[in-house]
Amino acid sequence: MRLFRTTLLAAAAATALAFGPRPAAAVDLTMYYPVAVGGPVTKIIDDMVARFEKENADIKVTAVYAGNYTDTMTKAMTAMKGGQPPQLSVLLSTDVFTLMDENAIVPMDDLVADKDWFKQFYPAFMANGQIGGKTWSIPFQRSTIVLYWNKDAFKEAGLDPEKAPASWDEMEQMSKKLVKKDASGNVIRWGVEIPTTGYAYWMLQALAIESGQKLMNEAGNELHLTAPKTVAALNYWVDLSRKDAVMPTGSIDWATLRSDFLEGKTAMMWHTTGNLTAVKDGAKFNFGVAMLPAKERRGSPTGGGSFYVFKNASPEQQKAAVKFIQWMTAPERAAEWSIKTGYVAVSPAAYKTPAMEAYAKDFPAATVARDQLEHAVPELSVHENGRIYKFVNDAVQAAVTGSQSPQDALSSAQQQSDRVLRAYK
């Protein structure tokens, strides 16, 4: 028996010498990925992953589609505490404080040889991820809020179909002309809809910025929900439905708003630029895309997801993860991603690629969100982000449904937030 085993080992050694050393085992990466908007996002990611693996045979990436951003964050944290975290993930850029507090991620600085790479991205998109002199995330699935309008509805209402509202007052006045009723007096088309579920905090921040009010400090431990201009912003939002009757009362669902717009149930909507390609493919009418209207100033918070590398990944996995991130965010891929989804390409170089230049020439709406970056601010990001978002989202719901005044709803959210954030001061 021993002789037989020795013979087998000798044969194996001879085979190894004949054919050379076996290639090293591929580095396996699990990536949690959120799907928060419409369109064939999973197919696009699967295709990009397959192409990356073809160029990098020593790295295998398994994309796990874990629901929306909140679901993905919850699953990533659960997996980490269970001892099986992903090696990288696309999570909200604003999850950075929570991920740092949980000791879940590593800064990219020690994993990247050429620090000039960080300078290739738009500063507005890097703002959320650079804290304490370190870079904790790299932008990828990034966005701003934009205004979509139905040009055919504008023309029907006697408005200039090529002119979107530039101010809050203009949006209110245009919306009144755009409301359409049937013979029984029932509204069959609203003037404007701003979603109040899912990402209500995001919409409130946009209105607050336009009103001239920042919602948080840079340290992520202070909110300004009861500032007069924040209250004024929520009052304006509520008045669109309850006073001006140009928007439905009660909740307006994030997930179905795009369908409302495509079906002609609203003439204007505020939504992520991440829906741009889906709207382009689905609209049976002429539509336009514009920066959000101004009160004291233009403005939108940035939004969307960034790449994070997890601390529990091995050094080899962390190195492979960065290689994958660099491949995914290279100008050609960033341009491709933007064209196929509507998300903002994350670097100026992406907009100078032949593919993007040709696309933008034929479809100028593709550059609106990019141009709005000039007026953009970092998305609301503080410690205990998930809890804080719930407080703010609940306040918006209470105000738009009429169960509380905007002042009372925001006061309640402020008190709850102060209690939670006190530990981080």
The 10s digit of each residue's pLDDT in 126-165 is 999 999 999 999 999 999 999 999 999 999 999 999 999 9
At 11 the pLDDT is: 43
154 and 184 within one domain = yes
Q: What residue numbers bound the domain in which 323 lies?
A: 27-143+303-373
Residue 12 lies in a domain: no
Q: Give every CB contact of residue 186 below 8 A, 6+ residues apart in sequence.
A: none
Give how far Cα 411 sits from Cα of 145, 294, 374, Å: 26, 25, 31
Domain shared by 254 and 351, yes or no: no
- Count other C-beta atoms under 10 Å from residue 123's C-beta: 10
CA 214 to CA 272: how far, in whole Å? 20
* Structure tokens that stand for 100 in this block: 């740092």
**Can you read off the two tokens belonging to residue 282?**
């689905």
Q: pLDDT confidence of 37, banded at 50, 70, 90? A: low
The average pLDDT across 77-83 equals 91
Which residue in 400, 393, 59 sits closest to 252, CA to CA? 400
Both 149 and 215 in one domain: the answer is: yes
Residue 60 reports pLDDT greater than 50: yes
Q: Are residues 294 and 335 in the same domain?
A: no
For residues 312 and 80, is the Cβ–Cβ distance under 8 A?
yes
pLDDT of residue 66: 85
What local confidence, expressed as pLDDT, does residue 420 receive?
97
Spell out the alpha helix ranges (H) of 65-157: 69-81, 96-101, 123-126, 151-156
Q: Is 31 within the bounds of a domain?
A: yes
Question: Does residue 17 surpass a pLDDT of 80?
Answer: no
Which residues on neighbouring strands pair with residue 92, listed in sequence order?
A: 305
CA distances from 201 to 156, 218, 238, 304, 391 (A): 33, 17, 14, 13, 9
Is residue 248 domain-shared with residue 343, that is, in the same domain? no
Average pLDDT value for residue range 11-40: 63
Do 161 and 218 share a domain, yes or no?
yes
Are 114 and 206 part of one and the same domain?
no
CATH number for 180: 3.40.190.10
- Number of domains into which the chain is organized: 2
Structure confidence at residue 2 as a pLDDT band (50, 70, 90): very low
| pTM for this model (two decimals) | 0.88
Residue ranges of alpha helices (H) inside 195-343 are: 200-210, 228-242, 254-262, 276-282, 315-328, 331-341
**CB-CB neighbours of 336 under 10 Å:** 20
Does the residue 289 lie in any domain? yes
Token readout for 248 is 């439905």
